[in-house]
Amino acid sequence: MNNAAAPYLTDLFGLHGRTALITGGSSGIGYAIARALGGAGAHITIAARRQTHLDQALTRLHAHGVTATAVQADMGDPDDITRLCETVPDTDILVTSAANNIRHPMGELTPGDYEQTIAVNLTAPYRLGQHHAPRMARRGWGRIINIGSQQTHRAFGNSGAYGVAKAAIGGLSRSQAEAWSPHGVTANTILPGFVLTPLTEAVQAIPGRVEALAARHAIGRNGLPDDYAGIAVFLASDAAAFVTGQNICVDGGFSIT
């Protein structure tokens, strides 16, 4: 790298002085994004349901030189979301990565399955956006990064309620962009392919399924959490000031096959 490149890239992609809240930040894509944004200079707060997982994630983040704190919160619990907003009243960057997926056939989903799935995957991102976006707008700068799914625009077996929520997440980002982008706040959705994370362990356990899904990706492999580091830094940075309201596939070509 030449001498001019480092400060140029820092100005373009650096997040020094910024703060970021990442739900689901203790594992999977959420953790990879937390590490990436922290590595770019942001102060990180991760939120997740299990305290032991948060403690382990903090240890790993600190080992990478990331300045990070954690808040235990269940995104399916309305009171926990209220408490999270009170504990972290302001942030420059909001990443909604927490998710659940109750993998029952559509005809076997109970009302409780549906309500729990919508609460974690849609209501929590909506409520957090409603809290933080107006505050970002008053400061004239903000970034909302929602994590969608291939099910934002296509079906996937035995994930019906999850598909409903993730389709709505794409619409949420567009609505957030329409409302807040005139005030310097962008909102976008990242659409992963099939990623090897704790959320997909049930599918990974099916013999031959991982290999079959890898073959469906144009690049011939399934995704890994670290595949989402670059897009997260880009969308969180000044480099993406003109990108808003978009559903961005980061899926190794899964969506084109």
Contacts of 124 (CB under 8 A, 6+ apart): 23, 75, 76, 81, 96, 98
**Domain count across the chain:** 1
Domain assignment present for residue 200? The answer is yes
Burial degree of 86 (CB within 10 A; 0-12, 13-18, 19+): exposed
Domain assignment present for residue 256? The answer is no
> How many whole angstroms separate alpha carbon 74 and alpha carbon 69?
16
Q: What distances in angstroms separate CA 169 from CA 18, 56, 187, one per listed residue?
A: 25, 29, 11
pLDDT in tens, 167-207: 999 999 999 999 999 999 999 999 999 999 988 888 889 99
Among 31, 126, 162, 228, which one carries the catalytic annotation?
A: 162
pLDDT at position 3 = 66
> How many whole angstroms separate alpha carbon 98 and alpha carbon 28?
10
> How many whole angstroms separate alpha carbon 101 and alpha carbon 111?
14
Looking at residue 75, the DSSP 8-state letter turns out to be T
> How many whole angstroms separate alpha carbon 23 and alpha carbon 25?
5
What CATH number should be reported for the domain holding residue 148?
3.40.50.720
Report H helices in 49-186: 51-63, 78-87, 111-118, 124-139, 160-180
Domain assignment present for residue 127? The answer is yes
> How many whole angstroms separate alpha carbon 137 and alpha carbon 186?
10
- Residue 216 tokens, joined: 């469906």
Give the position of tokens 């990706």: 217
Does 162 qualify as catalytic in the annotation? Answer: yes
Domain hosting 83: range is 4-250
| CA angle at 148 for the pair 245 and 137, rounded to the nearest 5° | 40
pLDDT along the chain (257 residues), means of 10: 78 97 97 98 97 97 98 98 98 97 91 96 98 98 97 84 95 98 98 91 90 95 97 98 98 93
First and final C-alpha spacing in the chain: 37
pLDDT at position 2 = 61
Domain assignment present for residue 32? The answer is yes
Question: Nearest CA to 173 among 156, 150, 195, 190?
Answer: 190
Domain assignment present for residue 257? The answer is no
Domain assignment present for residue 51? The answer is yes
